[in-house]
């Protein structure tokens, strides 16, 4: 992403419009990180839900980490904490960050 969050999300949208290409786990890590860095909380929530319910992708610790980062950057600390509590795995550095 590195300053190109909007461009990454635009590319993802074009990818979704192309019926021959389906997003995978790695794609969604990039999408969620882009939402986080651009500050698009609602769009990030929608993509996280879409990943699970539309594409059948099981969230990994990295997806949860992106969501916690997204929510925390936007000041949604209680929601981030609830998400961590509901995760089916133990949080690690991907969730808590390295600082």
Distance CA 48, CA 44 (A): 6
> Which residues touch 37 (CB under 8 Å, ≥6 apart)?
1, 5
Q: What are phi and psi of 88, to 5 degrees?
A: -80, 5
Query: Which range of residues forms the domain containing residue 65?
Result: 5-96
Number of domains comprising the chain: 1
pLDDT digit string, tens, across residues 39-58: 999 999 999 999 999 999 99
pLDDT digit string, tens, across residues 73-86: 999 999 999 999 99
Our CA angle for 35, 62, 68, nearest 5°, is: 55
Distance CA 66, CA 16 (A): 20
């Amino acid at each position: 992403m590195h300053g190109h969050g909007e461009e990454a999300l635009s590319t993802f949208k074009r990818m979704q419009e192309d019926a021959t290409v389906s997003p995978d786990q790695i794609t969604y890590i990039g999408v969620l990180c882009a939402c986080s860095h651009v500050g698009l909380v609602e769009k990030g929530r929608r993509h996280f839900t879409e990943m699970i319910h539309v594409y059948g992708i099981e969230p990994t610790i990295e997806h949860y980490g992106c969501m916690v980062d997204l929510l925390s950057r936007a000041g949604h600390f209680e929601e981030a904490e609830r998400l961590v509590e509901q995760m089916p795995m133990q949080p690690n550095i991907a969730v808590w960050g390295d600082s």
